Amino acid sequence: MAEWWVPSRRVERWGQTIGLVLLVVVVGPSTIHTVATEPTTGNWVRLAIWLFATVGFAYGTVQAWRTRNNPQPACWEGTTAPTEIPADDVRSALASTDDRIPAIKALRELHPGLGLKDAMDLIDAQRGEQGPHH
């Protein structure tokens, strides 16, 4: 399912960063002051929601900055490139069975983001290297 708008990594990264700064600098002090001066149940719930949102934005910000040099576009998340699959995983999937199709299934179970065609190509390439007995 295609998304109607896929932001660039730069927009995502700076959006997360600005959101975190706003939560910590603007919303945080007033929320903490409100709980300190009027410790009602509603104010404690407000503080809990603020803490939850701040932790979520902090996590998102760290992830966005860690992946800033990742060559994959944001819309490719959840997929696994064939170059990311270790050769040992391909060999173990192939060694688990003598048939090609179960080996492809086993490889895709190890790497759920791997496409069917990519898994077939990896298995076929490994079978070619191992010779005709597999």
pLDDT in tens, 74-85: 455 556 777 788
Whole-prediction pTM: 0.48
* pLDDT > 70: percent of the chain: 84
Q: Are 91 and 110 in contact (CB under 8 A)?
A: no
Q: Rounded distance, CA 125 to CA 83, Å? A: 13
Which pLDDT value is given to residue 35? 94
- In sequence order, the 6+-apart residues with CB closer than 8 A to the CB of 112 are 80
* pLDDT > 90: percent of the chain: 33
Which pLDDT value is given to residue 134? 47
Q: Are 107 and 93 in contact (CB under 8 A)?
A: yes
Q: Are 124 and 104 in contact (CB under 8 A)?
A: no
- Average pLDDT value for residue range 64-93: 73
